[in-house]
Amino acid sequence: MALNKKEIEDLLNKEEIVFISTSKKDATPHIAPIWFVYHKGKIYFETDITTVKFQNIKRNKKVALCFGGKNTYIVEGTVKWWEEKDAPLPLRKMLWDKYKEAMDDSFINEKTRVFEVTPEKEMSWHYAPSWD
Would you say residue 103 lies in a domain?
A: yes
Q: What is the CATH number of the domain that holds 22?
A: 2.30.110.10
> What is the number of helices (H) and of strands (E) in the chain?
3, 7
Percent of the chain surpassing pLDDT 90: 83
- Residues in CB range of 5: below 8 A, 6 or more apart: none
Q: What domain count does the chain have?
A: 1
CA 16/CA 53 separation, integer angstroms: 19
Which range marks the domain in which residue 33 is found? Answer: 5-126
Mean pLDDT over residues 75-102, rounded?
A: 95
Cα 67 from chain centroid? Answer: 9
Structural domain contains residue 14 = yes
Percentage of residues of the chain with pLDDT beyond 70: 96
CA distance 77 to 14: 21
**Does 92 reside within a domain?**
yes
Please check whether residue 131 lies inside any domain of the structure.
Answer: no
Nearest-angstrom CA–CA distance, 85 and 6: 32
Tens-digit pLDDT profile for residues 47-88: 999 999 999 999 999 999 999 988 999 999 999 999 999 999
Mean pLDDT (the chain, rounded): 92
Domain membership of residue 89 (yes or no) is yes
Pick the range with the lowest mean pLDDT from 3-12, 20-29, 58-67, 120-129. 120-129
pLDDT given at position 130: 56
Q: What is the pLDDT of residue 127?
A: 78
Report if residue 132 sits inside a domain: no
